[in-house]
Amino acid sequence: MLTTSKHRSKPLFSITLISAAAAVLPLSLSLASSPASAHAIAGDRVFPATLAVDDPGVGDEANLQYSHTRTSGDNGDQSINTFGFEYDKLITPRLAASIDGSYVMQNNPTTRGFDNFGIGLKYLLYVNDAHEFMTSVGVHAELGGTGSHAIANNFSTISPTVYVGKGMGDLPDALAYLRPIAVTAEAAPALNTGADQPNAFNYGFTVQYSLPYLQQHVRDIGLPQPLANLIPIVEVPLSRSQGQTTGTINPGFIWINRYGQFGVEAQIPINSASGSHVGILVQAHLFFDDIAPKTLGKPLFQ
């Protein structure tokens, strides 16, 4: 249940991120190219935990993320580095609760501290295995005043959200090599509690091509590791407020196996209001529902 803040990420400390990534990557040696038990599944389709636009599934998982962006300010360009975390816990097999936070460092002027912390709920509404379709609904609240006064807002933001995902595995045989394609999307009004604060509408979509799906369900073309577990992806997170749209186009890749994934994306601003330079987004993600399905990753209620 990944969420995005006004700083475009929900990231922790970089050494933790690197350690988590190091823990995830060696698992490929024993798992080859099979992410078959990952958490967001519709038929043969595994939807990865995307970096900027949330996937349509629910799971017991932890996400660590780092973001670097540059934006234009009154005194010139401003660099923003964000280190964040999110933890999702399954209440039932279809309902997950989440908590998230981020530590932000920026210059010009130099400021650092925690952004507001957030909580959320997400419910898996419908899955159609034959057509690789999945949809969920949820709500996320950024709690005003819980972060540093230098970084965070003193008002809260509540975002009811719809998530959808569709794989192309039901295409005819003549289009078999398009079956690894999947698209996901989310849409959420961001409703602020501050009397004079404008609301926003956040939305976005992803387009992804799953090489594990190609290998396992279309044709095994003999890709070696780590390519056999790679998912090239483009994410487009957008926000509309006061008549202006901001956002980025994020090309990159996700490497996935049964127990976790590692992702890297560029962040290309769509206009000057979205940033002045290309940024970077890095993710390490762990699936506790597969790592420890009978203990840590077990739903509280079956």
Number of domains observed in the structure of the chain: 1
- Greater confidence (135 vs 109) lies with 135
Question: Residues 260, 27: contact at Cβ < 8 Å?
Answer: yes
Asked whether residue 157 carries a pLDDT value surpassing 60, the answer given is yes
Tokens 């975002």: give the residue: 159
Q: Confirm whether 7 is domain-assigned.
A: no
pLDDT, position 2: 62
Q: Confirm whether 298 is domain-assigned.
A: no
Question: Residues 252, 266: contact at Cβ < 8 Å?
Answer: yes
Asked whether residue 7 carries a pLDDT value surpassing 80, the answer given is no
Asked whether residue 235 carries a pLDDT value surpassing 70, the answer given is yes
Whole-angstrom Cα distance, residue 81 to residue 157?
Answer: 22
Q: Confirm whether 6 is domain-assigned.
A: no
The burial class, CB within 10 Å (0-12 / 13-18 / 19+), for 302 is exposed
pLDDT (mean) for 126-151: 97
Question: Residues 117, 143: contact at Cβ < 8 Å?
Answer: yes
**Residue 151: closest CA among 108, 106, 190, 202:** 106
* 74-107 tens-digit pLDDT: 677 889 999 999 999 999 999 999 999 999 999 8
Q: Confirm whether 18 is domain-assigned.
A: yes
Helix (H, G, I), strand (E, B) or coil at 71: strand
pLDDT, position 87: 98
Q: Confirm whether 4 is domain-assigned.
A: no
Note the pTM of the prediction, 2 decimals: 0.87
Q: How far apart are the first and last CA of the chain?
A: 20
pLDDT, position 39: 74
Q: Confirm whether 8 is domain-assigned.
A: no
Q: Confirm whether 3 is domain-assigned.
A: no
Whole-angstrom Cα distance, residue 282 to residue 259?
Answer: 18
- What is the band of 5 on the pLDDT scale with cuts at 50, 70, 90? very low
- Domain assignment of residue 100, given as a range: 14-291
**Residue 190: closest CA among 125, 151, 266, 242:** 242
- What is the band of 12 on the pLDDT scale with cuts at 50, 70, 90? very low
- What is the band of 70 on the pLDDT scale with cuts at 50, 70, 90? confident
> Residue 102: which CATH number?
2.40.160.40
pLDDT (mean) for 280-301: 96
Q: Confirm whether 9 is domain-assigned.
A: no
